[in-house]
């Protein structure tokens, strides 16, 4: 189970670091053009705030568990990712993007798995 959780943590950190870097550095139109269509209904300040949270989460999902310092932050980061994914699912559903909804649901499941698994100390 530990190997699965680490694999999911690394995958989530990679996904959210990439997404956060794009959202914090690109204009909204460019984000939509490169496939981040879920940002469409949101104003730029919300997109930038989400990007900042994604970048902090990418650090928080790996570093505390890796260093053994503040391990409670890892399940919190994963829970934060789950919350972001609930919003993303709503956004993609509103845009009628079933493929993106399915991908986002998979990220949600991975986030919840890490949150629960690390919260119980696995």
- The per-residue pLDDT for 122 is 72
Residue 67 burial (C-beta neighbours within 10 Å; 0-12, 13-18, 19+): exposed
Among 22, 40, 6, 15, which residue's Cα sits nearest to residue 104? 15
At a CB cut-off of 8 Å and minimum separation 6, what does 82 contact? 108, 111, 112, 115
Q: What is the pLDDT of residues 17-60, one digit of tens each?
A: 999 999 999 999 999 999 999 898 899 999 999 999 999 999 99
Percent of the chain with pLDDT over 90: 87
Mean pLDDT of the chain: 95
CB–CB of 53/4 below 8 Å?
no
Max Cα-Cα span within the chain:
42
The pLDDT of 59-63, averaged and rounded, is: 97
Cα 81 from Cα 108, distance rounded (Å): 7
């Amino acid at each position: 189970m530990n190997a699965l959780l680490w694999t999911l943590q690394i995958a989530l950190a990679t996904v959210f670091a990439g997404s956060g870097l794009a959202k914090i550095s690109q204009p909204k139109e460019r984000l939509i053009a490169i496939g981040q269509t879920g940002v469409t209904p949101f104003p730029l300040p919300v997109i930038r705030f989400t990007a900042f949270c994604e970048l902090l989460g990418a650090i928080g999902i790996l570093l505390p568990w890796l260093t053994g310092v503040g391990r409670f932050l890892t399940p919190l980061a994963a829970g934060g990712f789950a919350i972001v994914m609930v919003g993303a699912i709503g956004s993609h559903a509103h845009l009628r993007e079933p493929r993106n909804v399915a991908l986002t649901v998979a990220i949600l499941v991975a986030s919840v798995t890490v949150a629960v698994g690390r919260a119980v100390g696995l």
